[in-house]
Structure 1
Amino acid sequence: MDIQDERTRLLDADGSEESDVRSEQDIYLDKVWNGKLYLAAFVSVLGPLSFGFVLGYSSPAIPDLMASPDPRLRLDPNQASWFGSIVTIGAAVGGLLGGWLVERIGRKLTLMFCSLPFVFGFAVIASAQNLWMLYAGRALTGLASGVTSLVVPVYISEMAHQRVRGTVGSCVQLMVVTGICGAYVFGVFLPWRWLAVCGSLPPTLLVVGMCFMPETPRYLLSRGRRREAEEALRFLRGPEAPVQWECARIEEACDQQGAGFRVSDLREAGVYKPLAIGVLLMFFQQATGINAIMFYAENIFEDAHFDNRALGTVIVGLTQVFFTGIAAVIMDRAGRKVLLCISGVAMAISAAVFGVFFHLTEGGHSGVESKVEGSLGVEPQVDLAWLALASMGVFIAGFALGWGPIPWLVMSEIFPSRVRGFASAVCVLTNWGNAFLITKFFQNLLDLLTKAGTFWLFASMCAINVVFTVVFVPETKGKTLEQIQDKFRGTRAL
């Protein structure tokens, strides 16, 4: 019995057209084999793995460079700050470039293209003879990171079906934190030049692997290439799935949406509503203060009497990997909104505790042996440092569970095909622009608001995140991309 025969039988049993549509999807998905889909996802997330390695690289490399015997490469604190933050500038530019490329040359070729500045950037760093070569290498890897952070979520969301889209989409952030952790671990054993050489390996494998992977069916159909789209779906869904059925549904949605982005499209509810949600998700992700927490992590380890701060950063990285992995496993069961709310509450509480910690310990006390006097009596500061260490663990775990992976996942799900490149570029630019501002001017914020005030501000933003999630963020679990977009246009209930 083919899918049309089963459709007739189900319609006779239940006259509801909506029930019939859901049943057709289930019938179709029961015939799908996910092996090659997972393979394509694995190859594509080598990009986020490289991106994470770029982010983590500065942590072990900066101490080596600040102590370099070569005066041409020795960094002072201001230069080290630029070495770390220039990546975010390159990534912001890369987000804009990626938004243009995904519409002009496609998702697959854009993903292959972004591997080149990864490799060249790490090669420049590994062979650096002066400060400007270090900056150029970091800017190139940042450019590649920006393109990657846009194209990989789009590529995965457009090739995955609704039963597994949350899980494979969450693998983007999982591989980012795996790359960060990998940089921490290898940085314990390797000098900065050889660490850069290691960073060039994943993007090299990505270029080779993507040669054997398909373009996304939605992009092909948006360009009128139906035969290639059916071949891509047959590769991704397996030989038993009647891919013509899915192809027809995607093609119908592409015909309704039209081809190409126009500025006038911003007046449509199906465009400006998801764009506003996507931009605010990216803004709030950085407003949680995750970069500030990571920035202050080494100081907390020092105050807590961790003799090996490098080991402490590895523990932080492993915590991120573990909880992001949990998020990936449960994403398609728990749903996006539930995890975002749990994540926001956990971060709000831990950031508030951070503020209390700094309120009690700042004010002229600098050594770990100083005393904290007040209504709590006289307590050694080291005890409070362990409280801060626990709060940091809760914050990082909470972020990894929700606000780390989900904004990128939702960004890849909510935009119509014709504006996906433009809208994703705006979201990526928002994210990386805010990341640069927070990374570069975090110290100024501390001077203005004090440490306690700064972390209480972050706690407030986390609380606002929860309200924003409950009121505005749609639940996309178990929905096709077309159903999600219909919700914003007001043509069908989500």
Structure 2
Amino acid sequence: MSPSESAADDGLRKPLLHTGSWYRMSGMGSRQSSIMGSSIHIIRESISVFLCVSIVALGPIQFGFTCGYSNPTQADIIKDLGLTISEFSVFGSLSNVGAMVGAISSGQIAEYIGRKGSLMIASIPNIIGWLLISFAKDSSFLFMGRLLEGFGVGIISYTVPVYIAEIAPQNLRGTLGSVNQLSVTIGIMLAYLLGLFLPWRVLAVLGILPCTILIPGLFFIPESPRWLAKMGNEEFETSLQVLRGFDTDISIEVNEIKRSVASSSKKTAIRFSELKRKRYWYPLVVGIGLLMLQQLSGINGVLFYSSSIFQSAGVSSSKAATFGIGAIQVLVTGIATTLVDNAGRRILLIVSSSLMTISSLLVAVAFILKQDILPDSSHSILGILSLVGLLVLVIGFSIGLGAVPWIIMSEILPVSIKSLAGSVATLANWFCASVVTMSANLLLTWSSGGTFIIYALVSAFTVVFVTLWVPETKGRTLEEIQWSFRR
């Protein structure tokens, strides 16, 4: 091979946003000069896995802000633009449609241009989408903006948990992975809170901030070492050394990554018939199943239409109650991040799904009793009962079913099918979210009590599914988890 061909090949192997030679220079400096010791220590502490997670977490904040935007703005947008209820329902659901399109392409984008490059691509339609909504004079700009937002969110929802799982040390992977869902809840809460005070156009302008900060932030963090290794890029050891600290011995982790990559060449195509092997179908069933059940539990129906649900239940200050739910979700999700690596994934999923089953039944009973069974004098008590039930439902979701399915999906999918399988799992999640979001209003009109009975049945099935199928991944490296499916 000629030198020019070799250089061209090396260029193709470079990620879109490479780790940067200054990292390597800093690492060498730490070994060569004691005078530079204190400076290198500062660099090592600042350019760490925690900083990386903090920067990419801006993506899920954007995700949550998009989800929460339609709740406090419904009345004002309908009034200002003269929309019908059905047109606004289309506006609300278009983010899910866009997310499904983004999900289809997310795995391939993240595979070919890297985790950082895909987040860069996802940020651009998000920014354009928010600007279209803020300047909308009719429904067409509103719909196009929402669709673009959804497309970016679909890519973010796959890429961020995968990136975090690939850079995190095994003893912190669950905690750091939970930051993804924590950031989503922060985004939702901010939309609820700011929506109480700001006009909908100003709120849309503020929606561009997370991705506007994310884009330059991506240049200060390394690419995923596992992705670099899979692409045959020589910088994967540099990236890993930056993430673990320049004084850390990374030889064991480097060898595990090399062994994993060697056993699963990036150019090897998986035939459909090979999916019958347990090493492929088992993690696929678990990953896709968990992400589908997460949405079919009805959580998006509750979060999107919480104000109207509270009004139906007789709660007078529905917007304040909605913000309260958003704040509690952030608080409980924050607590849950400390439990994932200590208690384990399976126990949190079982506790979470059990609480959601009980709380959904509680809300269903409150609505059924309110409907022509108990006198009007009891309606205030039933309103409190339904409020408590919804709060427990959100708490239950935040403990486990919110964050853990994304963590497990990013951990168990084999390297050889990760891009395709991850796209399918994310697509299934967003498809179920669309079904729940679009059917929630219709179901609540049909029967509020019956709707929550359906959600309770799904949550009860989730308990069974987790107990029988979901493996515990706490305390194991990604390579160990994937090797376990070959037995």
Q: Does the alignment reach a TM-score above 0.5?
A: yes
Superposition pairs of residues 4-403 of structure 1, within 5 angstroms: 36-68=48-80, 73-226=81-234, 228-260=235-267, 261-264=269-272, 265-302=274-311, 306-363=315-372, 372-373=374-375, 379-403=377-401
In structure 2, what is the Cα distance between the partners aligned to 1:33 and 1:273?
Answer: 39
CA contact (8 A) 1:57 1:183 kept: yes
Q: 1:348 to 1:401 in 2, by over 3 A?
A: same
Shift of 1:33: 7.0
CA contact (8 A) 1:58 1:84 kept: yes
Question: 1:22 aligns to what?
Answer: none
Q: 1:130 to 1:300 in 2, by over 3 A?
A: closer
Deviations 1:252-300 (A, max 9, x none): 1110122244234423321111011111101111121112323452234
CA contact (8 A) 2:71 2:304 kept: no
In structure 1, what is the Cα distance between the partners aligned to 2:377 and 2:453?
Answer: 23
What amino acid sits opposite 1:468 in the alignment?
F
Please provide the CA RMSD for this pair.
1.7
In structure 1, what is the Cα distance between the partners aligned to 2:451 and 2:403?
Answer: 24
Residue number among 478, 482, 485 corresponding to 1:485 in the alignment: 482
Q: 1:456 to 1:301 in 2, by over 3 A?
A: closer
Shift of 1:250: 0.3
Shift of 1:76: 1.1
Mapped pair 1:461 → 2:455: no
Superposition pairs of residues 413-452 of structure 1, within 5 angstroms: 413-446=411-444, 450-452=447-449
Q: Percent identity?
A: 39
Question: 1:367 aligns to what?
Answer: none
In structure 2, what is the Cα distance between the partners aligned to 1:271 and 1:482?
Answer: 14
In structure 2, what is the Cα distance between the partners aligned to 1:254 and 1:33?
Answer: 29
Which secondary structure state, in structure 1, belongs to the residue aligned with residue 137 of structure 2? coil
CA contact (8 A) 2:367 2:382 kept: no
What amino acid sits opposite 1:389 in the alignment?
L
Shift of 1:416: 1.5
Which secondary structure state, in structure 1, belongs to the residue aligned with residue 391 of structure 2? helix
Which secondary structure state, in structure 2, belongs to the residue aligned with residue 286 of structure 1? helix
Question: Unpaired segments of 5 or more residues in structure 2?
Answer: 1-43
Q: 1:287 to 1:34 in 2, by over 3 A?
A: farther
Shift of 1:188: 1.5
Which secondary structure state, in structure 1, belongs to the residue aligned with residue 339 of structure 2? helix
Deviations 1:48-92 (A, max 9, x none): 011111111111222211121xxxx22210011011111000001
Which secondary structure state, in structure 1, belongs to the residue aligned with residue 485 of structure 2? helix
CA contact (8 A) 1:126 1:192 kept: yes
CA contact (8 A) 2:47 2:242 kept: no
Q: TM-score by structure 1 length?
A: 0.86
CA contact (8 A) 2:64 2:186 kept: yes
Deviations 1:196-237 (A, max 9, x none): 1111011011010001111111111111113x0011011100
CA contact (8 A) 1:34 1:237 kept: no
What amino acid sits opposite 1:487 in the alignment?
S
Shift of 1:303: 5.2
In structure 2, what is the Cα distance between the partners aligned to 1:460 and 1:473?
Answer: 19
Question: Unpaired segments of 5 or more residues in structure 1?
Answer: 1-31, 364-370
Shift of 1:34: 9.1
Shift of 1:459: 0.9
Shift of 1:324: 0.6
CA contact (8 A) 2:315 2:383 kept: no
